Amino acid sequence: MPARKTIIVESASEGEEDLVEFKQSSKKQKVEGSKQGTSGKKKKETSPKQAKTAGIARFVGSPIKKEEAARRWPERYDTKKGKKSEEDDNDKKRKLPAEEETEEVSGPSKCIAHYSKAEVDGTTYELGNCVHVHSGGEQDFIGRIIEMFEDDKKDTWFTSQWFYRVSDTAIKIVDDVKHDKKRVFYSEVKDFNALDCLVSKIKVIRLSPTIHFNTLNPKPVPPCDYYYDMGYDISYSRFYTLPPELESGTDSSDITNCNDMSIGPASSSHSENRSDNNEATSGNCKEYTLLDLYSGCGGMSTGLSMGAALSSVKLVARWALDLNPNACKSLEYNHPETRVRNESAEDFLALIKEWKNLCDKYVKSEDVDDSKARGRRKGVVVASDDESEEDSKSTEPGEFEVERIIGIRHASTEESKKAGIEMKVRWKGYGPSDDTWEPLDNLETCEDCVKKFVVEGKRKNILPLPGDVDVICGGPPCQGASGFNRFRNKENPLECERNKQIVVYMNIVDYLKPRFILMENVVDILRFANGILGRYALSRLVNMHYQAMLGMMVAGCYGLPQFRMRVFLWGAAPQERLPPYPMPSHDVVPKGGIPQEWERNMVAYDEKSKPTLLKPLTLGDALRDLPPVENSETRDEINYGGGARTDFQRFIRLPKDVLTGVSTVASCKKQKMMLHDHRPLNLNTDDYQRVCRIPRQKGANFRLLPGVIVKEDNTVALDETVERELLPSGKPLVPDYAISFVKGRSPKPFGRLWWDETVPTVVTRAEPHNQAILHPEQDRVLTIRENARLQGFPDYYKLFGPVKERYIQVGNAVAVPVGRVLGYSLGMAIKLLAPSESTMVLPPKFPQALMNSAQQISDLPLEPQENEEEEADE
């Protein structure tokens, strides 16, 4: 396939200074490396004439021999007589990045000598010294001298390799997270400065990143001015563990490596849990556990597990929780291996903390004697099933007898009179319908029952303990940041009740200390209130001493007919490989913009790369094989009625065992597949009659209905020269809200999609009042299954709940193909096969080429054979 246009990011049009458009262009993505000061912005190089004082700045001692200097700093010397080096020419006139005021900055001319020592204001500096450098602001810059030289104008210069304070990074300042002011971050950014900008010598030490991670008693930091334990890269705002040996750029450095602080893997009172629970129950296959927070119907964990399997890593979603009971039922049905909890994240966090206390209390003691696992609770009368004289005497009037404990939860004040731990009790002589939730305090006479439940629960891992979880994923809701919320709290976003889940999410991470974290969210967390919610999440991970980076990914770039840009924040323990972002495999039809400040966080190719991208998928590629259904369709399962027409359709029809790597296509050929959830929202009579009047043609919408005129400025109005047509109900054919939507400029109300198009994003509502969601050739909205396909859900994935609830589950989910590529990256990182860079290129023909049955999949016919059609009819 010939190379297609490169996916890049280009500046928005004039007047949209804070927005960058995601589009196809021949211009390169503005991520070129340049001298960086605070917040990734370049600071001016200062010439000797712009010095901070009139103090003395001179070199000390003899110059370094020319041969030695040319070997160590070859870019400063001409390689051929009479020809200037490109580096030297660039140094003379350097420009600020486009986002700052463009102005030429004078730099050094031709270098004539290098030195190893200098004196500034009475202080002697040597190569390798860590220093404060004059910034012109409140805080001096922090750097390390890696070069000192004189040019042919007798001006004196030094080159510094820079360190970043937290406030210099993408985190900036987040008042809700307190960072150690001595902690800085190593960077690869280096540039030249006037010698007299040196302010003072400082002591910077390097610490192992594990000394503060997941340890109960961290060692104190040795005396120093600053310390660093991680590196920072402006691209993708990446905080990463440094390699054991760093290129110093000099023969000596006064950075201290504190060997006594460079301990091995982090120690924890729960570290034994991870090694015990990671082994699979069968064979020697390693099993990695996943906790899915705010799971919805399971789009993210489904994709992650599928992708990890393609890297030969077994990732199992052991636990999940969500507030929506229907979403929990959907996840539980499709993932029977997962313990799904229908509760709030706050209650879950309180529960697992108390669960640890119960495990500490009971699990270490002797095994439970089943014969003694009985108890009684005061307050209710119940007869004993044991007629022995002893038991009849011990059961007093007003008591029930506990048969066993079958569940545990943390009850909030909304569910119970008193917040706290409650246990679900099966009463002796009663059935499941009589089970009740009882406060733990009321079961003090039933300690043996409680103990047995805790011991058995710990053995079965019904709840995670610190050290049990390898991966936490989830998308905490942040409705308070949504652009659709007109009442957003811009002054204190983290105090808004609708934004606090991002805080709870990070609190759970802090308590369980997983090896990897993946948080997903809408791009508004980077737009709203100067991106405070995104910065907070990044800040929390870094403050917990996790590696971290933040990227924006477009679902359409991974083989879906929708754009759908989302933020994905990776976190990894210091001793792990930070999973890279997979680069796009498909071209995409752009339908949105990104915040300009986060331009470097877009997962996209620049002009220098010329990837061979697959063409964008369209609605026809994804949906055209599905059987026709009516607006009134109520069946949850129907036959396909025909075969797949495209590779996408063929792949998404595969059975679960094939897509998860358990079985091959050959072993599943006889398996009859049914189509789930292929039913639309049943429109009311008025809306259905309006939909039937929308022409079945590309671009059709309410504007083509009688009585609507389109003005020269492309706004609409009612044609006052004709009588307004009414429906049989007496309501107008063209509703007022369609005319007034976006001040008459929007063509979306009752808009009909077309086969060669894509959609901006799959939403949670199916009403056609303010969005184009009508089927191209049928008088109805897209079905639940059609929306699910646009999200990449395999056809076997069955949803539960009322129709509107199922639309919500699909619209809120992470697109499965995006989860799949991230899961593949995660698996490769676990195996230490992923690159150490921020991004990676997916294998050709991903994911089909990596599946055990890839060849068999490609051999499947696109259209059904005659005998298959006969079997379907039977």
Residues taking part in catalysis: 478
Which helix (H) or strand (E) covers residue 183, if one does?
A: strand 183-194
Contact by Cβ (8 Å): 681, 781:
yes
What's 696-731 look like in SS3? Answer: CCCCCCHHHCCCEEECCCCCEEECCCCCCCECCCCC
Closest CA to 553 of 365, 300, 188: 300
User: 637: which residues sit within 8 A by CB, 6+ positions away?
Assistant: 674, 675, 676
Question: What is the Cα–Cα distance from 441 to 181, expressed in whole angstroms?
Answer: 45
Alpha-carbon gap, residue 487 to 482, rounded angstroms:
10
Angle between helix 345-362 and 501-512 (nearest 10)? 20
Tell me the three state secondary structure of residue 760.
coil
Per-residue DSSP letters for 767-790?
-SSSSEEE-SSSSSBPPHHHHHHH
Tokens 């950014």 found at = 189
- How far apart, in Å, are the Cα atoms of 373 and each of 408, 455, 626? 17, 12, 56
d(CA 717, CA 708): 6
Task: For residues 602 and 777, give the distance between their C-alpha atoms in angstroms, rounded to a whole number.
Answer: 36
> Smallest Cα–Cα separation from 515: which of 332, 359, 315?
315
The C-alpha atoms of residue 512 and residue 352 are separated, in whole angstroms, by: 9
Give me the DSSP letters along 276-343. Answer: HHSB-SSTT-BEEEEEEET-TTSHHHHHHHHHHHHTT-EEEEEEEE-S-HHHHHHHHHH-TTSEEE-S
Q: Residue 132 pairs with which residues in a beta bridge? A: 142, 200
Q: Which of 471, 477, 464, 344 is nearest to 413 (CA)?
A: 344
| Burial group, residue 248, by CB count within 10 angstroms (0-12, 13-18, 19+) | middle
Pairing of strands 471-474, 287-293: parallel
In angstroms, rounded to a whole number, what is the distance separating the alpha carbons of residues 576 and 214? 13
Burial (CB count <10 Å: 0-12, 13-18, 19+), residue 377: buried
Taking the C-alpha atoms of residue 383 and residue 817, their distance in angstroms, rounded to an integer, is: 57
C-alpha to C-alpha distance for 796 and 628, rounded to whole angstroms: 19
Q: What's the count of helices (H) and strands (E) in the chain, helices before strands?
A: 22, 37
Q: How far apart are CA 23 and CA 10, in angstroms?
A: 7
Q: Are 133 and 142 in contact (CB under 8 A)?
A: yes
In degrees and rounded to multiples of 5, residue 76 shows phi and psi of -85, -10
The answer to whether the CB of 773 falls within 8 A of the CB of 750 is no
Return phi, psi of residue 534, to 5°: -65, -40
